[in-house]
Amino acid sequence: MLYYLYEYFTSIGVHVPGLGMFRFISFRAGMAVLLSLIIALVYGKKIINYLRKQQMGELVRDLGLEGQKQKEGTPTMGGLIIILATLIPVLLFTKIMNIYILLLIVSVVWMGVIGFIDDYLKKIKKNKDGLSGKFKVIGQVGLGLIVGVLMYFHPDVTVKRKYADAKEINRNNIEKNFMPTEKATVSTVPFVKNNEFDYSGILFWMSPEDAHEWAWIVFIPMVIFIVTAVSNGANITDGIDGLAAGTSVVILLTLAFFAYISGNIIFADYLNIMFLPNMGEATIFALALVGAVIGFFWYNTYPAQVFMGDTGSLMLGGIIAVLAIILRKELMIPVLCGIFVVENISVMLQVAVFKYRKRKYGLEYAQNNRLFKMSPLHHHYQKEGYHESKIVNRMIIIGVLFAIICLITLKVR
């Protein structure tokens, strides 16, 4: 909004001191993260008090975990803090009509509404199961479908790839190092020398022209799978104070960095990566979300004053997935979102091993010989006697390690 104000004053010849700073993505991104952090810190307490007044407290099941009953009554649905603190700076500091910004705003609202309905049914309607699992999946699939269709068909979603011998073509005019703007279902493959993967290549039996035309048959289902998997991963990870928020900050900072270099043709040329026109604005969105999550983290650290609930966890997972997809970094998710992946796998393994042992050795044996003492994995470590804070801090450190590995892929191919 403020960028358009700058453009308007410039068009009519009016000079407002300082307004020219809004030309720069770095300035607007800095202002966005600062404002989102302030909003989350200042208004977060007011929202927490309102949720407590409305008796939106967490109903804790007795799982035999230390300190668990103390969490009873802690306000949930705190994801509203993150959503509010993100959207206001985004509306103020981004080019709102940018296709990527519109897509990210839709994603925040879409997943936030799904999570809100789930929390609302649990707390207001006293339905302990909340929103049915199949309706959650329908919502996640719906968002994946929207993202996939727009990524494939919208004319503003384009890429510019470098010529193989770009340095020999032109060292002085960077634009000439890149091929013309094109529509392509390409992604980045980490640790591979020629690290671009085109989904149309899966349709190897077709001619190149037909494969390019029908690549959406592969691309859109992949997008749907990624959105569903990552949002569920974040939801499962949100089990102890600060874990989902802390690990998400690391992931989002990494994605913000990728957004900045991918949307800047100078850095794209230097690092020999795809240049994504109009992607720079996503940096502002990602950093606004970082500020909002850090502000929420202030109140969510042990002992938590508020839980994000499905309103926050489903939204965070969905946004992380969408950011990775629009940045053509979705194949990096297993590393970047390693904590989410491990938490997800721990649940699946626990269920699979239990069913196998029950079928082969009987129910009593299966109950007494579980793979983990409890799943997801963070509850297993609680059962082992680790304090919540230690588990969270160590998982954040591991998340930083995963993020560094992802950044190294820019050079190690």
- Backbone phi, then psi, for 205, in 5-degree steps? -80, -10
Distance CA 306, CA 308 (A): 7
Point out which residues pair with 196 in neighbouring strands: 188
Please name the residues in contact with 88: beta carbons below 8 A apart, sequence gap of 6 or more. 35, 36, 39
Q: What pLDDT score does 39 carry?
A: 96
- Residue with token string 């850090």: 294
Q: What pLDDT score does 63 carry?
A: 63
Domain assignment present for 404: no
Distance CA 160, CA 170 (A): 16
| Both structure tokens of 187 | 């992604």
The 3-state secondary structure of 82-147 reads: HHHHHHHHHHHHCCCCCHHHHHHHHHHHHHHHHHHHHHHHHHCCCCCCCCCHHHHHHHHHHHHHHH
Domain assignment present for 193: yes
- Backbone phi, then psi, for 330, in 5-degree steps? -65, -25
Q: Which residues of 105-116 are buried (b: 16+ CB within 10 A; e: fewer)?
A: bebbebbbebbb
CA atoms within 13 Å, Cβ hemisphere of 237:
33
Domain that holds residue 175: 2-58+70-331
Q: What pLDDT score does 179 carry?
A: 82
Domain assignment present for 341: no
Domain assignment present for 115: yes
**Torsional class of 374: left (φ above 0), alpha (ψ -120 to 50), beta (otherwise):** beta
Domain assignment present for 354: no
Please name the residues in contact with 242: beta carbons below 8 A apart, sequence gap of 6 or more. 297, 300, 301, 302, 304, 388, 389, 392
The 3-state secondary structure of the chain reads: CHHHHHHHHHHCCCCCCCHHHHHCHHHHHHHHHHHHHHHHHHHHHHHHHHHHHCCCECCCCCCCCCCCHHHCCCECCCHHHHHHHHHHHHHHHCCCCCHHHHHHHHHHHHHHHHHHHHHHHHHCCCCCCCCCHHHHHHHHHHHHHHHHHHHHHCCCCCEECECCCHHHHCCCCHHHHECCCECCCEEECCCCCCCEEEHHHHCCCCCHHHHHHCCHHHHHHHHHHHHHHHHHHHHHHCCCCCHHHHHHHHHHHHHHHHHHHHCCHHHHHHHCCCECCCCHHHHHHHHHHHHHHHHHHHHHCCCCCCCCHHHHHHHHHHHHHHHHHHCCCHHHHHHHCHHHHHHHHHHHHHHHHHHHHHHHHCHHHHHHCCCCCCCCHHHHHHHCCCCHHHHHHHHHHHHHHHHHHHHHCCCCC
Count: domains in the chain: 1
Please name the residues in contact with 372: beta carbons below 8 A apart, sequence gap of 6 or more. 346, 349, 350, 379, 380
Domain assignment present for 169: yes
| Both structure tokens of 205 | 């039996």
- Residue with token string 């392509």: 184
Domain assignment present for 167: yes
Compute, in degrees rounded to 10, the torsion defined by CA atoms 231, 235, 240, 244. Answer: 20
pLDDT in tens, the chain (413 residues): 788 888 788 888 878 777 778 889 999 999 999 999 999 999 999 999 888 887 766 666 656 666 666 777 788 889 999 999 999 999 999 999 999 999 999 999 999 999 999 888 887 766 666 777 888 899 999 999 999 999 999 999 999 888 776 655 555 678 778 888 888 889 988 888 777 888 988 888 888 888 888 899 999 999 999 999 999 999 999 888 899 999 999 999 999 999 999 999 989 888 888 899 999 999 999 999 999 999 999 999 988 889 998 999 999 999 999 999 999 999 999 999 999 999 999 999 999 999 999 998 898 888 888 888 888 999 899 888 888 999 999 999 999 999 999 999 988 87
Domain assignment present for 233: yes
Q: What pLDDT score does 269 carry?
A: 86
- Residue with token string 């839980």: 307
